[in-house]
Chain A
Amino acid sequence: MSIQQFSNISSNNFEQCVKCTVCTVYCPVTAVNPLYPGPKQAGPDGERYRLKRSDFYNEALKYCLNCKRCEVACPSGVRIGDIIQQAHMNYSHGSAGVRDRMLAHTDLMGGIATRLSPTVNGILRLTPVKLAMDLTLGIDRHRTFPAYTPRKFTTWFRRHALKRQDRFTRRVTYFHGCYVNYNFPRLGKDLVKLLNACGIGVDLMKDEKCCGVARIANRLIKQATDAAKVNLREIRAAVASGNDVIATSSTCIMTMRDEYPHLLGLDNADVRDHIMTATRYLYRLVENGDIKLVFKPDYLRRIAYHTPCHMAKLGWSVYSIELLKLIPGVELSVLDVNCCGIAGTYGFKKENYRYSQAIGKTLFDSIAQVNPDIVATDCETCKWQIEMSIPYRVSNPISILADALDVEATRAANNI
């Protein structure tokens, strides 16, 4: 009697697909863009053919957001999103153009723009400039680039925070990412305030590169791999010194934990458990009784929590939600998991803009229905998309916790 195949050949479980199409139900793109073949067809179904002949590759795979919602829904553990991204990386003939390179190098662009921030911010908001970028580069004219900060987070940290970190014996390494450094240092400052109040010192990496998510999405694989190698070296150094590595962006964390090994082939098994979102790190300390958080009784807000797709993939929204629930004056609603549609650089591209907004509509409607004071979410690009599309303010849970924190009482509770 012949025995069925009992172990996998692939590393992405593609042979486990039973063609149930559950993934399609949860794909944000399928319902709005008929050019996209859908996760089942683009993923395991198409892979059968591509393994035989690479010219079965279909350029329409570029419409995949890499949100991984198909993977979260799959009952058979097929890494559908990875299969699609790998195909995109391995078989696509087009190379990244000027626009994609610009969008992908968030750290290089940010480094230049922060130096010229008043000028750059002003220029990027001018209608003729938006029109010109739309026509020449293909960056949609309806988009507004997030404002660049005049002073980078790292500059602030060196001048105003570095010295006081020496007081703490318990330390953690903060991967600030491009967004906090070049656009929104306040989030980094909030994290430092929160951690310091609990008696935890913050270290930065000596050399931090962009996590690489935008480079991977724009098929700049060599550049992504080079950056990832530097980050992994720094992460290993941090872990060796006894630190965990945390970030305030769920996407940076998902990329460094999962995309490095799955898409870039960089083994991170030795340090992967030490890479986590700031809310997971904090929740664990609170749960174990290692730190205490005391909140202002008069911080009263109605908050709607939106789960970013990559947070859903990590499975960690529960940490952010449980922390927000600790604030006594917060009335929290957890929104159904729906993609906001921007997917990092995807939504900035002219060819994707209308799909991006159509995808986001379900989320926008659900926020309007709750009508909260603040939308909480762990992803910066979700924040841009929601704030660009509907009149609600969006904050990272870390900023909300920092706002609500009674610093003096927290310091006292932690014997600082």
Chain B
Amino acid sequence: MKFDTIIIGGGLTGLTAAISLAEKGRKTAIISAGQSALHFSSGSFELLGSVDGRPVENPVEAIDNLSERHPYRRIGKERMLQLLPLVQPLLTRAGVATTGSHYTNRYRLTPLGKVKPAWLTLDDFATFDSPERLPWRSVALVNIADFQDFYPVFLSAGLEKRGVKCSIHSTSIAALDNLRRSSTEMRAATMARVLDYEAVGVLAGRLNSVARHADAILMPAILGLTDDLMVRLLRRLVCKPVYFVSTMPTSVPGVRTQMLLQRYFMKLGGTYMLGDTVTHGEFDGDRLRHVFTTNHSPEPLSADNYILATGSFFSHGLVATPSAIVEPTFGFDVDAPADRAQWFRKDIDSAQPYMEFGIATDADWHPRRDGVTIGNVQCAGSILGGCNPVKEGCGAGEAILSSLNLTTV
């Protein structure tokens, strides 16, 4: 099978690149070994939340303070400013509605009642102008009875600290009784699959009765696994504003984001191969000619260009063996010290060096294999390394911008 571009990795990075190419009429395929890290999404995309431990208010301005190895610095501020305005419209075209701006961070609520900077946030969630002043005097925190992946007490403690009065409620509806019989399977995503028009109508009635004296209702993100229809329905039926709060994974809004992006890509004519793994490639000097996968071997899949978006350690884009950090699919050269002792620090809270490891790429994002630059492969997303997405709050931005950079003239 032949394509213009094959993208290896089907998460936020791969999907952004794929949509961007498919919109330009390129014949594009994604090969994805299982579902992606979007399933653990907070519901917000972060651009840049912190540099050297100091919070960032204006992400674009703060790019200058990043290390030269950071993908944002390598993309360049001017180019970043050219790409950033493309992001929200792209998400909107796929049906992912967001709020936010790249000039000024907004702030989102974490499940533990903290407030963190965010760039674009799904419309399910509340966002604030300032981390200090929240727009409510009182909120009703409503959990579903027996749902164990949501912690109103922590949330309430965090909110009370910021001067918001909280009342905690628990409710259930008949549609969920069946699920409540299973202690292990009553999860956010399972509830989302059960909550249909009728059930959401009943749920809205319960929320209306408990929230009479609150400015807003906060409840776990358990609605809308495949689209946001039920979210919008509930909001229309409830007389107070309803905001959702992330639950323990898997994340319902995250799964929805994955599905919407994937569906949009396929509607553009793209091919999404889920549950398939690239086992190896066939190289001809400085070019990757074919890739071979578990499902399609012995026939190769071929493309003029390839994008490697397999993620970092969690997604197996990088693997740590006892003696080396390796890129397991093609054996591309990795930018990481040989000495294992330099991979980590014993203080678990400090920035871990291994978080910044990535593929060694040239100025045009091409990887090297045994020292030879591979001209028709480019890398994007967290496999690039050079930054610490957890400490800096830049994971989604790195994924989206590094892939748009490769696919936008």
A contact residues vs B (CB 8 Å cutoff): 3-4, 6, 20-22, 24-26, 30-31, 34-38, 40-41, 71-77, 273, 284, 287, 312-316, 318, 334, 336-337
Measured CB to CB, the closest approach of chain B to A103, in angstroms, equals 27
Kindly identify which residue among B34, B184, B193 contacts A72, using a CB–CB cutoff of 8 Å. B34
A24 pairs with B250, CB closer than 8 A: yes
Q: A76-B34, A315-B276 are in contact. Are A3 and B184 (CB under 8 A)?
A: no
Pairs of residues from A and B, 7 with the lowest C-beta to C-beta distance, nearest first = A315-B295, A72-B275, A75-B34, A31-B193, A34-B181, A34-B182, A25-B189
Segment of B35-43, B230-238, B350-358, B370-378 engaged in the interface with chain A: B35-43
* Residues of the A chain whose Cβ atoms lie less than 8 Å from the Cβ of B33: 75, 77
Beyond the given A3-B322, A31-B193, A77-B277, please list 13 additional residue pairs across the A-B interface where CB-CB is below 8 A: A20-B249, A31-B190, A37-B182, A38-B182, A72-B275, A75-B33, A77-B34, A314-B295, A315-B273, A316-B295, A318-B1, A318-B271, A337-B274
The interface bits of chain B over 37-57 (1 if a CB of A lies within 8 angstroms of the residue's CB, else 0) are 001100000000000000000
Tell me the complex Cα distance, A73–B2, Å.
25
Kindly identify which residue among A25, A30, A38, A334 contacts B225, using a CB–CB cutoff of 8 Å. A25
Tell me the complex Cα distance, A268–B39, Å.
36
Measured CB to CB, the closest approach of chain A to B220, in angstroms, equals 15
* Residues of the A chain whose Cβ atoms lie less than 8 Å from the Cβ of B193: 31
Q: A20-B40, A22-B250, A31-B193 are in contact. Are A74 and B178 (CB under 8 A)?
A: no
Q: A31-B194, A41-B184, A334-B266 are in contact. Are A25 and B322 (CB under 8 A)?
A: no
Segment 36-85 of B: residues with Cβ below 8 Å from A: 36, 39-40
B275 pairs with A313, CB closer than 8 A: yes
A318 pairs with B273, CB closer than 8 A: yes
* Residues of the A chain whose Cβ atoms lie less than 8 Å from the Cβ of B405: none
Measured CB to CB, the closest approach of chain A to B235, in angstroms, equals 22
Tell me the complex Cα distance, A24–B274, Å.
16
Measured CB to CB, the closest approach of chain A to B290, in angstroms, equals 14
Kindly identify which residue among A34, A284, A336 contacts B226, using a CB–CB cutoff of 8 Å. A336
* Residues of the B chain whose Cβ atoms lie less than 8 Å from the Cβ of A41: 184-185
A25 pairs with B250, CB closer than 8 A: yes
A24 pairs with B271, CB closer than 8 A: no
Measured CB to CB, the closest approach of chain A to B113, in angstroms, equals 24
Tell me the complex Cα distance, A21–B185, Å.
10
B274 pairs with A38, CB closer than 8 A: no
Tell me the complex Cα distance, A37–B181, Å.
11
A4 pairs with B322, CB closer than 8 A: yes
A34 pairs with B35, CB closer than 8 A: no
Segment 178-230 of B: residues with Cβ below 8 Å from A: 178-182, 184-185, 187, 189-190, 193-194, 225-226
Nearest A residue to B298, CB-CB? A273
Inter-chain CB contacts under 8 Å: number? 101
User: Is B255 an interface residue, CB under 8 A from the partner?
Assistant: yes
B185 pairs with A34, CB closer than 8 A: yes
| Chain B contact residue count (CB 8 A cutoff) | 45
* Residues of the A chain whose Cβ atoms lie less than 8 Å from the Cβ of B182: 34-35, 37-38
User: Is B137 an interface residue, CB under 8 A from the partner?
Assistant: no
* Residues of the A chain whose Cβ atoms lie less than 8 Å from the Cβ of B271: 318
Tell me the complex Cα distance, A75–B33, Å.
6
CB pairs A–B below 8 angstroms (7 shown): A3-B322, A20-B39, A24-B187, A74-B275, A75-B34, A315-B294, A318-B271
* Residues of the A chain whose Cβ atoms lie less than 8 Å from the Cβ of B40: 20
Nearest B residue to A40, CB-CB? B184
* Residues of the A chain whose Cβ atoms lie less than 8 Å from the Cβ of B250: 20-22, 24-25
Tell me the complex Cα distance, A284–B266, Å.
22
B297 pairs with A273, CB closer than 8 A: yes
The interface bits of chain B over 73-102 (1 if a CB of A lies within 8 angstroms of the residue's CB, else 0) are 000000000000000000000000000000
* Residues of the B chain whose Cβ atoms lie less than 8 Å from the Cβ of A40: 184
A73 pairs with B275, CB closer than 8 A: yes
B249 pairs with A21, CB closer than 8 A: yes
Nearest A residue to B274, CB-CB? A72
B1 pairs with A287, CB closer than 8 A: yes
Segment 228-282 of B: residues with Cβ below 8 Å from A: 249-250, 255, 259, 263, 266, 271, 273-277
Tell me the complex Cα distance, A283–B123, Å.
43
* Residues of the B chain whose Cβ atoms lie less than 8 Å from the Cβ of A316: 295
Measured CB to CB, the closest approach of chain A to B301, in angstroms, equals 10
Kindly identify which residue among A20, A38, A284 contacts B299, using a CB–CB cutoff of 8 Å. A284
Measured CB to CB, the closest approach of chain A to B346, in angstroms, equals 12
Measured CB to CB, the closest approach of chain B to A411, in angstroms, equals 27
User: Is B315 an interface residue, CB under 8 A from the partner?
Assistant: yes
* Residues of the B chain whose Cβ atoms lie less than 8 Å from the Cβ of A312: 274-275
Measured CB to CB, the closest approach of chain A to B190, in angstroms, equals 5
Tell me the complex Cα distance, A25–B40, Å.
12
* Residues of the A chain whose Cβ atoms lie less than 8 Å from the Cβ of B181: 34-35
A21 pairs with B187, CB closer than 8 A: yes
Tell me the complex Cα distance, A53–B399, Å.
45
Tell me the complex Cα distance, A183–B266, Å.
35
Query: Chain A CB within 10 Å — which of B250, B293, B297 has the most?
Result: B250
Q: A73-B275, A315-B275, A315-B296 are in contact. Are A37 and B190 (CB under 8 A)?
A: no
Nearest A residue to B277, CB-CB? A77
Query: Chain A CB within 10 Å — which of B189, B255, B275, B276 has the most?
Result: B275
Tell me the complex Cα distance, A337–B189, Å.
17
Tell me the complex Cα distance, A41–B266, Å.
32
Measured CB to CB, the closest approach of chain B to A186, in angstroms, equals 29
* Residues of the A chain whose Cβ atoms lie less than 8 Å from the Cβ of B316: 75-76
The interface bits of chain B over 321-344 (1 if a CB of A lies within 8 angstroms of the residue's CB, else 0) are 110000000000000000000000
Measured CB to CB, the closest approach of chain A to B112, in angstroms, equals 20
B34 pairs with A73, CB closer than 8 A: yes
B185 pairs with A30, CB closer than 8 A: yes
B273 pairs with A34, CB closer than 8 A: no
Q: A21-B187, A25-B225, A77-B33 are in contact. Are A34 and B178 (CB under 8 A)?
A: yes
Tell me the complex Cα distance, A336–B226, Å.
10
A6 pairs with B321, CB closer than 8 A: yes
Tell me the complex Cα distance, A77–B315, Å.
11
Q: A38-B185, A41-B185, A315-B275 are in contact. Are A24 and B266 (CB under 8 A)?
A: no
Tell me the complex Cα distance, A38–B185, Å.
7
Measured CB to CB, the closest approach of chain B to A284, in angstroms, equals 7
Measured CB to CB, the closest approach of chain B to A271, in angstroms, equals 12
Tell me the complex Cα distance, A71–B250, Å.
16
Tell me the complex Cα distance, A312–B277, Å.
14
Measured CB to CB, the closest approach of chain A to B150, in angstroms, equals 15
Query: Chain B CB within 10 Å — which of A4, A25, A40, A336 has the most?
Result: A25
* Residues of the B chain whose Cβ atoms lie less than 8 Å from the Cβ of A20: 39-40, 249-250
Measured CB to CB, the closest approach of chain A to B206, in angstroms, equals 21
* Residues of the B chain whose Cβ atoms lie less than 8 Å from the Cβ of A74: 34-35, 275
* Residues of the A chain whose Cβ atoms lie less than 8 Å from the Cβ of B34: 22, 72-77
Tell me the complex Cα distance, A273–B189, Å.
37
Tell me the complex Cα distance, A26–B225, Å.
11
Kindly identify which residue among B2, B35, B184 contacts A38, using a CB–CB cutoff of 8 Å. B184
The interface bits of chain B over 137-160 (1 if a CB of A lies within 8 angstroms of the residue's CB, else 0) are 000000000000000000000000
* Residues of the B chain whose Cβ atoms lie less than 8 Å from the Cβ of A38: 182, 184-185
Tell me the complex Cα distance, A249–B294, Å.
20
